[in-house]
């Protein structure tokens, strides 16, 4: 049977946004309770090396960085718990949330930092080679593929952006596109087509990946299911997914405004949502940047806003 819990500040999610808001909320003496969610530490725990977070000149393992942030939050008194928020009621303050263990929480403020999950093709090989050549973040991991050959999967703006970014580092970039055309904006299409070391493979699907100690190539099929279907292999060192992200916002969608993909809409560049005292930080509210540093920054803002909100309420 779950517990009944009251808190001034409930933090949902445990990536850079959640942990940073826990650090700030704890130091403001809000005694926050933070639920880690499905993936303790968030997306960064899927990344081997983080090289672009300030303060780590030699780079840092993604898991290690998240453990450091957690330890810092706990040092200031954050109550960090395992558990997933499965229901919430933002109809009136104090706001009510339930966990998968049956805990019922009443919170004066709520910081939503549940992140977004990269979409994968669903191939077993993606799991097998995750962190060994498979990545869903070109700006995080592209640096490791300087002068190498990589493939990007997708046909939208994100895929084209990733391909262009990687083209500046890699020797060659394959852009694997399921359809016979790119969905990206005209300007992005033109840039990709005019970049010498990008080769677009239209009407190609990925069947699998191969390699000994990491990705060495991909098995593709051209015009799958058609009379002229043809299988081919390409030699690559890295395989980048760019088929979108799914914000983890379903539990809150009834109460908050989201865009068509599911990103929580916030007010005028702040972490405030349309419900007073409910804030959104990190990738769940950021379709644009999706970096650890921007998530951490928005977690800081959310905690400061929560503190100000409570002060104005006299709490």
140 belongs to the catalytic site: yes
Query: Given 9, 97, 140, 160, which residue is catalytic?
Result: 140
CA dist., res. 130 & res. 136, Å (int):
9
Between vectors from CA 60 to CA 30 and to CA 160, what angle results, nearest 5°?
A: 95
> In sequence order, what are the residues at sequence separation of 6 or more whose Cβ sits closer than 8 angstroms to the Cβ of residue 78?
11, 22, 23, 25, 26, 32, 33, 34
36 belongs to the catalytic site: no
Between vectors from CA 52 to CA 278 and to CA 24, what angle results, nearest 5°?
A: 30
CA dist., res. 238 & res. 133, Å (int):
4
In this structure, the number of other CB atoms found within 10 A of the CB of residue 41 comes to 22
- Residues 264-279: b if buried by 16+ CB within 10 A, e if exposed: bebeeeebbbebebbb
CA dist., res. 170 & res. 39, Å (int):
31
Phi and psi of 82, rounded to 5°?
A: -75, 150
In this structure, the number of other CB atoms found within 10 A of the CB of residue 11 comes to 36
> In sequence order, what are the residues at sequence separation of 6 or more whose Cβ sits closer than 8 angstroms to the Cβ of residue 174?
149, 150, 151, 152, 198, 199, 200, 201, 234, 236
300 belongs to the catalytic site: no
Query: Given 125, 141, 237, 286, which residue is catalytic?
Result: 141
In this structure, the number of other CB atoms found within 10 A of the CB of residue 254 comes to 11
Query: Given 9, 36, 88, 137, which residue is catalytic?
Result: 137
- Residues belonging to the active site: 137, 140-141
């Amino acid at each position: 049977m779950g517990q009944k819990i009251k808190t001034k500040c409930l933090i949902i999610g445990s990536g850079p946004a959640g942990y940073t808001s826990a650090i700030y909320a704890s130091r403001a003496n809000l005694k926050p309770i933070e639920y880690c969610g499905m993936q303790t530490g968030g997306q960064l725990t899927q990344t081997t090396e983080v090289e672009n977070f300030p303060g780590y000149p030699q780079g840092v393992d993604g898991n290690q960085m998240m453990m450091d942030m957690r330890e810092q939050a706990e040092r200031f008194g954050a109550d960090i718990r395992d558990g997933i928020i499965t229901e919430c009621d933002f109809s009136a303050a104090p706001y009510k949330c339930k966990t998968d263990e049956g805990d019922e929480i009443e919170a004066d403020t709520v910081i939503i930092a549940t992140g977004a999950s990269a979409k994968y093709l669903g191939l077993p090989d993606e799991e097998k080679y995750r962190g060994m050549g498979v990545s869903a973040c070109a700006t995080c991991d592209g640096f490791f593929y300087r002068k190498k050959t990589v493939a990007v999967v997708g046909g939208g703006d994100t895929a084209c952006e990733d391909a262009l970014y990687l083209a500046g580092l890699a020797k060659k970039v394959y852009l694997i596109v399921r359809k016979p055309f790119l969905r990206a904006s005209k300007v992005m299409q033109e840039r990709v087509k005019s970049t010498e070391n990008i080769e677009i493979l239209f009407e190609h699907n990925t069947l699998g990946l191969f390699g000994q100690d990491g990705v060495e190539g991909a098995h593709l099929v051209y015009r799958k299911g058609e009379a002229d279907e043809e299988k081919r292999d390409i030699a690559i060192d890295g395989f980048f997914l760019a088929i979108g992200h799914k914000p983890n916002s379903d539990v809150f969608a009834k109460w908050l405004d989201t865009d068509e993909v599911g990103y929580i809409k916030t007010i005028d560049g702040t972490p405030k949502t349309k419900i007073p005292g409910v804030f959104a930080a990190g990738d769940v509210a950021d379709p644009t940047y999706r970096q650890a540093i921007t998530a951490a920054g928005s977690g800081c803002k959310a905690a400061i806003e929560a503190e100000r909100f409570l002060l104005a309420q006299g709490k």
